[in-house]
Amino acid sequence: MKDDLGHPCGLDRPAQRVVSLVPSLTESIALTRPEALIGATDWCTHPADLDVVRVRGTKNPDRKAIAALRPDLVLANREENRELDVRRLREAGIPVWVTVIETVEEACTSLRRLFVEGLKWDVPEWLDEVERIWLGPLPLIRARVAIPIWRDPWMVVGSRTFTGDLARRLGLDNAFGEHAERYPHVDLADIDRPDIDVVLLPDEPYVFSADDGPEAFHSTRTMLVPGRALTWYGPSLLDPHAELAIRLG
C-alpha cells in the first residue's frame, strides 16, 4: 500500500499501536479504536479525556520518544508536519503514513484509504455520516467572508485549502479564494472593507479572542469561531455544518 504521497507503507496485519502527529487524525483514531492510540502531540486536544503519551508538537516531535513506543504506524500530514521528521522516522525503521488534504472530498477519500489500506481497519460509521453531510450539492452563497489565520502580519485563507473548501460547502464565498497563494499576507485594509460581509476569526492557529482581533475592524462585522470547526477533518466534521450555519444566520 502507498500513502497519499505515493510512499510504500504496507502492514501485514491490522495496526495495533498508532502514534498520531496530527490533531484531526488523533481524534479520528481515538473515536474509532481508542485502545490502538498510544501517542499524540501536545496539540492533540480532542477528545478532551485523551490519555496517551505526548510526543511534543507537530513541528518538533520527539522522535526518540516515538521510537520508544514501538508503533506499528505513525500518522502525519504534508502540511502540518515536517518532511525531515517523516524521513528520519522512516530511516529509523518506523512506518509513517502521510496524508494530503486540501478539500473536504480529499479528506473523506484520504481517511477512507487510511483506515482500509494504511491501518487495515474497517471504515468507521462516522466517516459514512461525514460523507453524507458534506459531499452533496453545493449550497447557494449566503455570505462573502474573509478568514484570517494570523495577525502582525495579517494572513488569511487563500486558495487550495481545506478551510476554503469547507467554507464553500457552507455557502460562504471566500474573498481570497482566487488568490495565487494558499495563505497570503494581506493588509488589514484588504480585510476590513465593505464588500466583505463577515470576518471569521478562529482560535487557531492564531488565538483570536474577544480582546484580540475584533477591535481592529471598523467596516466589517467579525465573528469568533472555533478553529476546530474550520480547520479539522474527521469526526469534527459532524459538528460545524450545523453550528456555523446557525451562527451565520
Q: Give the helix ranges, DSSP H, for 33-116.
A: 63-68, 83-91, 104-113
User: Alpha-carbon distance 209 to 200, whole Å?
Assistant: 11
Q: Is the pLDDT of residue 61 over 90?
A: yes
Q: Give 113-129 pLDDT, tens digit per residue.
A: 999 999 999 999 999 99
Picking from 61, 26, 74, the residue whose alpha carbon sits closest to that of residue 46 is 26
Same-domain check for residues 166 and 76: no
Same-domain check for residues 77 and 111: yes
Q: Are 225 and 20 in contact (CB under 8 A)?
A: no
Which pTM was predicted?
Answer: 0.92
User: Alpha-carbon distance 184 to 158, whole Å?
Assistant: 6
Same-domain check for residues 124 and 24: yes
Same-domain check for residues 126 and 228: no
Q: Does the residue 37 lie in any domain?
A: yes
Element (H, E) at 231: helix 227-231
Q: Which of 133, 161, 177 is the last residue of a domain?
A: 133
Same-domain check for residues 170 and 106: no
Q: Are 165 and 102 in contact (CB under 8 A)?
A: yes
Same-domain check for residues 154 and 47: no
Q: Is the pLDDT of residue 68 over 90?
A: yes
pLDDT the model gives residue 244: 63
Q: Residue 192's pLDDT band (boundaries 50, 70, 90)?
A: very high
User: Alpha-carbon distance 40 to 71, whole Å?
Assistant: 11
**For the chain, what is the mean pLDDT?**
94
Q: Is the pLDDT of residue 241 over 80?
A: no
Domain boundaries, position 45: 18-133
Same-domain check for residues 99 and 182: no
Q: Are 235 and 126 in contact (CB under 8 A)?
A: yes
Q: Which of 133, 151, 171 is the last residue of a domain?
A: 133
